[in-house]
Amino acid sequence: MPVRVRFAPSPTGFLHIGGARTALFNWLFARKHNGAFILRIEDTDQSRYVAEAEDDFKDGLRWLGMQWDEGPEVGGPHGPYRQSERTELYQKWVNWLIENDSAYRCNMTGDELAALREQQKKLGLKPGYDRRNRDKKLGPDIGPHVVRFKMPLDGQTVVHDEIRGDIVFENADLPDLVLLKSDGLPTYHLANVVDDHAMQISHILRADEWIPTAPLHAQLYRAFGWEMPKIAHLPVILSPTGKGKLSKRDQAFQEGGKQVLVQVREFRRAGYLPEAVVNFLTNVGWASGDDSEVFSPQAAMARFELKDINPAGSKLPYDKLEWLNGVYIREKLSETELADRLVPVLEEAGLTVDRTVLEKVVPLITERMKTLNDAIEKVAFLFGDTVTVNPEDLIQKKMDEESTVKALEAALQALSALETFDHETQEAAMRDLVDELGIKTGQLFGTLRVAVTGQRVSPPLFETMEIIGQETVLERIQAAIAMLQPA
C-alpha cells in the first residue's frame, strides 16, 4: 500500500510554527517512502473562517520547501481538496450511517445543551449530552437538527498509536459526538474520516490534542466498515512561558525580554532562512540519532521513523535557531546566494542597494550575522551619502580630543598619500603610524572606525575602507576632525 499522508489545516488563522512542524513530519514521511503529500483545507467552520489563511498556508509551505503533490492549485485524483466543496459526500455518508442505525438525528438546540451542562455541573454529574434522542429514530422533518454518532455504550476501544503503542479507552466514557451540524456542514470528526478514506490516506500524522477523539474516529471507521489508516499523534509545541501549548498564541509576543515568534510568516520576516527553519524544526521531537545538528531534509528522510518521534511536548529552542541560522548563512550559502537574499531585505529596510558594493561587503559580514535582518545595520553606512558620528565615540580609551585630532590628522595625511588603496597597504601604513604616534592599534583603528562608519562596531576596518573608497574615507576623516575642533 503506497504511503499517502496529508496536512489538513483549518483556515482560521495564519500558518503556525507548530502546524509547520506537523506538515514537515508528514512531508518527510511521504518523501522517505516515495509517497504522496496531500494538502487539504478543512474549512467546515464558517464562523471562524479567515479568507487569507489558505494563501498563508500555501506560501508558508512553499517557502519552507514542502510542495504538496495533491491539493489546492495542483489538483489531484481525489479532489476537490477543500472540504466546503465536498459537502454532498458527507451528506451521503451521514445518511448511510443513519440508515444503518449507526447515527441518529437530534433536534436539541445549542442553548438547551448548554443549560443541560450547567445543570449537570451543579449536581456534580459529568457534563455532556444525555443521549435523549439516541433511540427515537427521528426523521429529517424535525426542523433544525444535528446528526450524532451512536457510540457503543460498553466495551473498550483500542487505538494503536505508532509512537505510543496501544491506547485503551472505555466506551462508556465516550460521547455521541456530532457528525453533521445544523448548518448542514460536517464536523471535523466526520469530514476527516470520510476524506481520509476517500483520499486513501495511509497514515495520519496529526497533533497530540486529537488523542481523546481518536477512539471516536476508530469507531466511525468500524461503523463504515473501512480500514483505519495507521495513526501517530505528534507531540505539541509548548509555550516558553511554561504554561500550555504554543498554539494558544496567535502572534509573536515577548517573554523574558525575548521575542517569541509563532507564525511562519514571522520567522520569515525576522530574517530566518527557510532551510534553517526546516532543519531546526526537524530536530524538535525527533533527532537524527547520530548527534548531528546540521543536516538537509534529505539526510533526515533517510533516517526518519515514526517510532523515533519523542512523544513528549517540547518548547522551541529559539536560541538554537539563531545559531543554526548563522551556520546556514556562513556555511551553507554561497556569497552570491546570500547577496540575492539580502537585496529584498535591505530594500525593504529603505536602503538603495548597489549590487556591486553589496557583493564586496558580503564576505565581511557573513560571519557576523545571525539573521538576514542583521545585515541592515551592518551595511547601512555603505549605502548612504553621509554617516552620523557621535563625537564622543571618536575618543578612544585613554585618549582625549587633542590626541584624537592629532591621530586623525596624521592618518588623513598618511592615507591620502597612498597610491593604492587596498586594505593591505592601508594597514601597513596605519600600523607604522601607530608606532610613530606611540599609541595602541585599538586606539587609532577605533577612532578611524567611528570616523568612517559612524559605528563603534563594524566589519574589519581596512577592508571596509577599501570598499568605501579613498575619496569618501578622506572626507569622512576630515569631517570627524572638524567635529572635534568647532570653529
Partner RNA sequence: GCCCCCUUCGUCUAGCGGCCCAGGACGUGGCCCUCUCAAGGCCAAAACAGGGGUUCGAGUCCCCUAGGGGGCACCA
* All residues at 6 or more sequence positions from 144 whose CB lies less than 8 Å from its CB, including other chains: 107, 109, 182
DSSP 363: H
Among 270, 301, 327, 333, binds RNA (CB under 7 A): 327
Under rule CB under 7 A, residue 76 binds RNA? no
Give 240: exposed, middle or buried? Use CB within 10 Å, 0-12, 13-18, 19+: middle
What is the per-residue DSSP string for 325-351? Answer: HHHIIIIIS-HHHHHHHHHHHHHHTT-
Rounded least distance, CB 112 to RNA, Å: 8
DSSP 14: S
Q: Which of residues 218-247 bind RNA (CB under 7 A)?
A: 235-236, 238, 242-245
Contact 416, 475 (CB under 8 A): no
Among 460, 470, 472, 479, binds RNA (CB under 7 A): 460
Question: Quick check: is 136 catalytic?
Answer: no
Q: Which CB atom, from 145 or from 360, has the smaller least distance to RNA? A: 145
CA distance 359 to 407: 32
Contact 150, 104 (CB under 8 A): yes
Among 390, 456, 482, 485, binds RNA (CB under 7 A): 456
Contact 408, 474 (CB under 8 A): no
Q: Which CB atom, from 8 or from 412, has the smaller least distance to RNA? A: 8
Among 127, 140, 344, 469, binds RNA (CB under 7 A): 127
* The residue to which cell 594597514 is assigned: 427
Q: How many residues does the chain have?
A: 487
Under rule CB under 7 A, residue 459 binds RNA? yes
Which residue stretch of 120-128, 387-395, 413-421, 477-485 sits at the interface with RNA (rule: CB under 7 A)?
Answer: 120-128
Number of residues counted as binding RNA (CB under 7 A):
90
Under rule CB under 7 A, residue 131 binds RNA? no
Amino acid (one-letter) located at 229: P
Q: Do the strands 258-260 and 156-161 form a parallel or antiparallel pair, or are they unpaired?
A: unpaired
Name the grid cell of 83.
472540504
In the stretch 40-69, what mask flags binding to RNA with x, by CB under 7 A? Answer: --x-xx-xx---------------------
Q: Which of residues 78-107 bind RNA (CB under 7 A)?
A: none
Rounded least distance, CB 369 to RNA, Å: 7
* The residue to which cell 586594505 is assigned: 423
> Considering 126, 136, 137, 248, which one is annotated as catalytic?
248
Q: Which of residues 363-422 bind RNA (CB under 7 A)?
A: 367-368
Rounded least distance, CB 340 to RNA, Å: 21
Q: Which CB atom, from 164 or from 332, has the smaller least distance to RNA? A: 164
Full 3-state SS string of 22-89: HHHHHHHHHHHCCCEEEECECCCCHHHCCCCHHHHHHHHHHHCCCCCCEECCCECCCCCCEHHHCHHH
* All residues at 6 or more sequence positions from 137 whose CB lies less than 8 Å from its CB, including other chains: 104
Under rule CB under 7 A, residue 256 binds RNA? no
Q: Which CB atom, from 34 or from 388, has the smaller least distance to RNA? A: 388
Which residue stretch of 26-34, 54-62, 96-104, 185-193 sits at the interface with RNA (rule: CB under 7 A)?
Answer: 185-193
Among 3, 74, 89, 211, binds RNA (CB under 7 A): 211
Q: Which CB atom, from 33 or from 315, has the smaller least distance to RNA? A: 315
Rounded least distance, CB 30 to RNA, Å: 20
Q: Which CB atom, from 203 or from 449, has the smaller least distance to RNA? A: 449
Active centre residues (catalytic): 248
